[in-house]
Amino acid sequence: MSLEARLVIKRDGFTLDIELTAEPGEVVALLGPNGAGKTTALRALAGLLPLGEGSITLDGVRLDTLPPEQRRIGVVFQDYLLFPHLSALDNVAFGPRCRRVPRAEARQRATEWLTRVGLADHVRKKPRQLSGGQAQRVALARALAFEPRMLLLDEPLAALDARTRLDTRAQLRGHLAAFPGATVLVTHDPLDALMLADRLVIIEDGRVVQTGDAATITAEPRTDYVARLVGLNLYRGRAEGSTVTLPDGFELITATEQQGDVFVAFPPSAVALYPSRPDGSPRNTWPATVTTISRHGDALRIELGGGLPAAADVTPAAAVHLGLEPGREVWASVKATEVRAYRA
Ligand SMILES: Nc1ncnc2c1ncn2[C@@H]1O[C@H](COP(=O)(O)OP(=O)(O)OP(=O)(O)O)[C@@H](O)[C@H]1O
């Protein structure tokens, strides 16, 4: 049940224009900053928003000409949208009932689905008697009980606290692995995307800016948003051999040779700071001014302005030793072997 879609939607001041594919059994995450168009894309797939242009084809069948109820798509919304007056069982039985499955059989199937998501003991409860994690699992069971051809999840874990989120994410991963159809999930949490999806589609301002598996995207980000997401300093420049010249003339030396337009990236942990120009120094050394300091795990994240805006991670001890504070002038350096260049 493979998905092939081109979604074009124009609404005041914003245009979504993306192509999206998903193979049977594949989990594709739409990831992007607020307002990028992720929810708009999901609502279009579900049939809740009409396409301006484009088409949606699932397993060779045109979906965008069908009304939402005939698309056989299971949707889990961010706030689950369970029917508050129905028990967990009747919420899940709703799908089969809509497809005219007799009541007893619909309830039987609902019980099976609730058992599968670990809620056999909660079938009679109303949504308000369920915890956030349980409600999420009822919503998932309800979507799966439709026997959908495709599953759509909108920020499926956003409503949960951190602890519940961890457990629920692991369980959700298992259920998605067992689902034979294509799954598209929307999130702005990189961890959800990395843990749940086989492939990431990064959307910014209504366009796809990068797509690939987690390893490729984290190794070779192509926009500032993605670079920040994976915690890398990222620049664009022109390579001639191992020298990359940035638009303002700054030169970075890399260990690998390239020609033409490239991205260059290095992690904040690779940036070393010195009180004065280091001698016998690594190839890339520049004067910088500390702009902000924030906590980053066990380290301090130092944002540097100057010739090459960059982030550096240092230990608290080093920060004290260097007297780091906003406005302090330092020398920064990064070894050529830590700088990766790849084709733009
Ligand atoms: N009902 C609406 N009418 C007009 N424009 C809208 C409507 N809903 C959203 N938009 C606009 O469409 C754009 C994309 O919104 P969308 O909700 O799809 O983004 P998103 O990537 O899901 O963001 P978030 O992570 O904040 O949910 C935004 O610029 C938003 O202002």
> What's the CATH code of the domain at 259?
2.40.50.100
Q: Do residues 203 and 251 share a domain?
A: no
| Whole-number pLDDT of residue 196 | 92
Q: Do residues 51 and 184 share a domain?
A: yes
| Mean pLDDT over the full length of the chain | 91
Q: Do residues 200 and 153 share a domain?
A: yes
| Whole-number pLDDT of residue 91 | 94
Q: Do residues 208 and 253 share a domain?
A: no
Task: For residue 186, give the ligand 1 atom closest to its CA.
Answer: 22
The answer to whether 167 and 156 are in contact (CB under 8 A) is no
Q: Strands 3-11, 150-154: parallel, antiparallel or unpaired by DSSP? A: unpaired
ipTM value greater than 0.95 = no
Dihedral of CA atoms 342, 38, 309, 340 in degrees, nearest 10, equals -20
Domain that holds residue 291: 231-343
Q: Which residues pair with 4 in a beta bridge?
A: 21, 57
| Whole-number pLDDT of residue 170 | 87
Question: 326 C-alpha to center of ligand 1: Å?
Answer: 36
CATH code of 109's domain: 3.40.50.300
Q: Band of the pLDDT at 276, cuts 50, 70, 90?
A: very high
| Whole-number pLDDT of residue 156 | 87
Q: Do residues 42 and 128 share a domain?
A: yes
Total number of domains constituting the chain: 2
Of residues 202 and 147, the one with the higher pLDDT is 202
Q: Do residues 19 and 145 share a domain?
A: yes
Question: 205 C-alpha to center of ligand 1: Å?
Answer: 10
For residue 181, what are the contacts with CB-CB under 8 A and spacing of at least 6? Answer: 1, 24, 25, 148, 149, 150, 151
Q: Do residues 310 and 207 share a domain?
A: no
**pTM summary value:** 0.82
What are the pLDDT digits (tens) for 315-332? 999 999 999 999 999 999
Q: Do residues 200 and 144 share a domain?
A: yes
Q: Do residues 237 and 141 share a domain?
A: no
Domain boundary among 197, 227, 257: 227
Q: Do residues 158 and 258 share a domain?
A: no
| Whole-number pLDDT of residue 61 | 93
Res 280 pLDDT > 80:
no
In this prediction, residues 64-77 reach a mean pLDDT of: 88
Residues 140 and 179: their CA atoms lie apart, in Å, by 11
Q: Which residues pair with 152 in a beta bridge?
A: 75, 184
| Range list of H helices, the chain | 38-46, 88-98, 103-116, 132-145, 162-178, 190-196, 214-219, 224-230, 316-322
Q: Do residues 194 and 135 share a domain?
A: yes
Task: For residue 32, give the ligand 1 atom closest to its CA.
Answer: 21
In this prediction, residues 201-215 reach a mean pLDDT of: 94
Question: What are the E-state strand segments in the chain?
Answer: 3-11, 14-22, 27-31, 53-58, 61-62, 73-76, 150-154, 182-187, 199-204, 207-212, 233-245, 251-266, 272-274, 284-296, 299-306, 310-314, 329-334, 340-343
Question: 248 C-alpha to center of ligand 1: Å?
Answer: 35
Pocket-forming residues, ligand 1, beta carbon under 6 Å? 11-12, 14, 32, 34-40, 188
Domain boundary among 176, 195, 227: 227
Of residues 106 and 297, the one with the higher pLDDT is 106
Cα dist. 306→54, 313, 328 in Å? 46, 17, 11
Q: Do residues 206 and 286 share a domain?
A: no
| Whole-number pLDDT of residue 282 | 63
Residues 257 and 340: their CA atoms lie apart, in Å, by 10
Domain boundary among 203, 227, 251: 227
In this prediction, residues 1-16 reach a mean pLDDT of: 93
- Name which of 9-13, 158-162, 311-315 the model is least confident about: 158-162
In this prediction, residues 8-31 reach a mean pLDDT of: 95
Of residues 211 and 70, the one with the higher pLDDT is 211
